[in-house]
Structure 1
Amino acid sequence: MKSSDRVKKFRDLSADELQRQEGEMNEHMFKLRFQWAMGQTESLKKIRELRRDRARMLTILREKESEN
């Protein structure tokens, strides 16, 4: 999925849904980092993409909070 498609998907979500999804992303990122540190996976690309998607999502969440 392209980053522009992800941004559109994030913009369509409500603030509550974004916060819930942030928690899920944090949990998923923790698991990936742990696996990478233990040498169980070599998917550094997935960690990088997830970190960037999380930043995009948090930016959109802050924009929605500042609108209110």
Structure 2
Amino acid sequence: MAKKLKTKTEEIRKLSDVDIEKELEEAHRRLFSLRLQSETRQITNHRELPAAKRLIARLKTIQRQRQLAAVGEAQ
């Protein structure tokens, strides 16, 4: 399982900044949809909700790392 997460993170790192932003928007929409389904008792796989949150966290982490690296290079 750890290998799968590493692979997902590596795939995210290969994306451009614009692509990461698009993925982040899509992940937020997916999380909203899952929360709505959860509240209306329509969700079939309850593990999708935490997985969506983890994906958002990964995307934001990599985005922030790139921002800090850019600031470090500028100084």
Instruction: Please give the TM-score of this superposition, normalised by the length of structure 2.
Output: 0.83
Give the match for residue 58 of structure 1. Answer: 60
Gaps of 5+ in 2: 71-75
Where has structure 1 moved over 4 Å in runs of 4 or more? none
The CA deviation at 1:67 is 1.3
Instruction: Please give the TM-score of this superposition, normalised by the length of structure 1.
Output: 0.91
- Alpha-carbon RMSD: 1.3
Give the match for residue 18 of structure 1. Answer: 20
Contact 1:25/1:50 (<8 A) preserved: yes
Question: Which one has a bigger Cα radius of gyration?
Answer: 2
Map 1:39-54 to 2 at 5 A: 39-54=41-56
Tell whether 2:13 aligns with 1:3: no
Larger RCO (CA under 8 A, 6+ residues apart): 1
Count of matched residue positions in the alignment of Structure 1 and Structure 2: 68
User: Which stretch shows the higher mean deviation, 39-48 or 9-18?
Assistant: 39-48
Gaps of 5+ in 1: none
The CA deviation at 1:15 is 1.1
Q: Distance in 2 between matches of 1:33 and 1:5?
A: 27
